[in-house]
């Protein structure tokens, strides 16, 4: 922090971890650059936490290597690695006040008393808790307790900080507030970070790059824009939150709209919803040739989300009925007939 130490470069190569017959990690390769935040996104049981524990030295690898700034960490204890770890259910020590909790790692490292006090005051100010040194941890709110946990993880000046769903147990409003606060704190410190979550909204809010995991493997990695606009596979697309995902059996009118026979996503926010014409006919202008296709639909369900409406639509796709989702700034009522316009910008091609 004050010495400008900043972050380190973390490299994980060919990581394998087996629990009996279960492959918790199956050949994971991941490189995280100096000062970068990578968010591991995936469902419960996909290997995210195992990967963090392996990097921290809490879980041995069955095969593979972990390096920090080119230094092989194999065989090194967690306290020797220069890596900090913050858990979802970070339990503060009840017999210590806030200062005692934040200073714990510094005491273990035998940092002199005066330096410990300076560092504690520094990180508490960084996380918005200046003057909290003497507070009993039992009096802290959930958000304050998580800030103390973050301060404790940052106090020893780790090169890399690993965060395992640190906000998962908090209510939505507090969680969003702390998500907004986390990046500025980590950017100020300059620490490299790997953050685990199963919530794609959290991932998009925090990440420089998102790494989507499933069944112990990394399926897709890229910037939030890259993974959203090019998820590559139906599995990744669905987990990112895309709902209009089509595989091998696609109504011809939708295949025409997409300009491809199968394996594509129609972005719900790019499906244009307008007033249905009295004639009640659909128009095909050949979206596959760079133009738009128009289809008739009926609103099945409408949900108001404050800044948008989310619609579920029953679509007449050339005589075949199918369902689509759309996100619009206006909200036609359930049962209302509408006209959909699907252009090339709504289509994301998939490789499988």
Average pLDDT for runs of 10 along the chain of length 352: 65 96 95 96 93 95 95 90 84 92 92 94 94 94 91 94 87 87 92 94 95 96 96 93 88 84 92 76 50 89 93 88 92 93 92 77
Q: H-helix or E-strand containing 123? A: helix 113-126
Evaluate whether 60 touches 8 at the Cβ level (below 8 Å).
Answer: no
Residue 49 DSSP code: H
- Sheet arrangement for strand 347-349: 245-246, 264-266, 347-349
Q: What is the token pair recorded at 273?
A: 């919803």
Q: What is the CATH number of domain 10-235?
A: 3.40.50.300
pLDDT for 290:
56
SS3 letters for 13-44? EEEEEEECCEEEEEEEEEEECCCCEEEEECCC
Distance CA 183, CA 193 (A): 10
- What confidence tens digit (pLDDT) does each residue in 278-303 have? 554 555 544 445 578 899 999 999 99
Residue 222: strand pairing partners: 210
Which sequence spans correspond to the domains of the chain? 10-235, 242-349
- What confidence tens digit (pLDDT) does each residue in 202-214 have? 999 999 999 999 9
* Alpha-carbon distance values, 22 to 10, 12, 164, 200 (Å): 26, 20, 21, 25
* Alpha-carbon distance values, 51 to 8, 19, 103 (Å): 17, 13, 27
pTM as predicted: 0.89
CATH superfamily of 242-349: Nucleic acid-binding proteins (2.40.50.140)
Burial class (CB in 10 A: 0-12, 13-18, 19+), 344: middle
Strand-strand pairing, 160-164 and 63-68: unpaired
Evaluate whether 330 touches 309 at the Cβ level (below 8 Å).
Answer: yes
């Amino acid at each position: 922090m004050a010495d400008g130490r900043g972050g380190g470069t973390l490299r994980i190569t060919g990581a394998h971890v087996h629990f009996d017959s279960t492959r918790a990690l199956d050949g994971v390769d991941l490189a995280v650059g100096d000062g970068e935040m990578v968010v591991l996104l995936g469902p419960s049981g996909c290997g995210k936490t195992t990967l963090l524990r392996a990097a921290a030295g809490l879980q041995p690898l069955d095969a593979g290597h972990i390096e920090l700034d080119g230094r092989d960490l194999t065989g090194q204890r967690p306290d020797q690695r220069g890596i900090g770890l913050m858990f979802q259910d970070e339990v503060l020590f009840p017999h210590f006040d806030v200062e005692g909790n934040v200073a714990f790692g510094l005491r273990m490292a035998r940092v002199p008393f005066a330096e410990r006090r300076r560092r504690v005051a520094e990180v508490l100010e960084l996380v918005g808790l200046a003057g909290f040194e003497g507070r009993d941890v039992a009096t802290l709110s959930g958000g304050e307790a998580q800030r103390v946990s973050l301060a404790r993880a940052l106090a020893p000046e780790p090169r890399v900080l690993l965060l395992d769903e640190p906000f998962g147990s908090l209510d939505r409003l507090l969680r969003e507030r702390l998500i907004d606060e986390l990046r500025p704190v980590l950017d100020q410190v300059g620490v490299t970070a790997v953050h685990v979550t199963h919530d794609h909204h959290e991932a998009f809010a925090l990440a420089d790059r998102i790494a989507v995991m499933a069944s112990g493997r990394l399926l897709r990695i890229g910037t939030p824009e890259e993974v959203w606009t090019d998820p590559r596979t139906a599995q990744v697309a669905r987990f990112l939150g895309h709902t209009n995902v089509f595989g091998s059996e696609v109504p011809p009118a939708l295949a025409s709209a997409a300009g491809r026979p199968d394996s594509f996503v129609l972005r719900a926010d790019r499906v244009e919803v307008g007033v249905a014409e009295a004639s009640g006919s659909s128009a095909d202008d050949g979206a596959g040739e760079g133009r738009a296709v128009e289809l008739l639909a009926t609103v099945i369900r409408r949900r108001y989300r404050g800044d948008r409406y989310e619609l579920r639509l029953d679509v007449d796709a050339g005589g075949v009925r199918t369902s689509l989702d759309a996100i619009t700034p206006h909200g036609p009522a359930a049962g209302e007939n509408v006209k959909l316009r699907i252009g090339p910008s709504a289509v994301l091609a998939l490789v499988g």
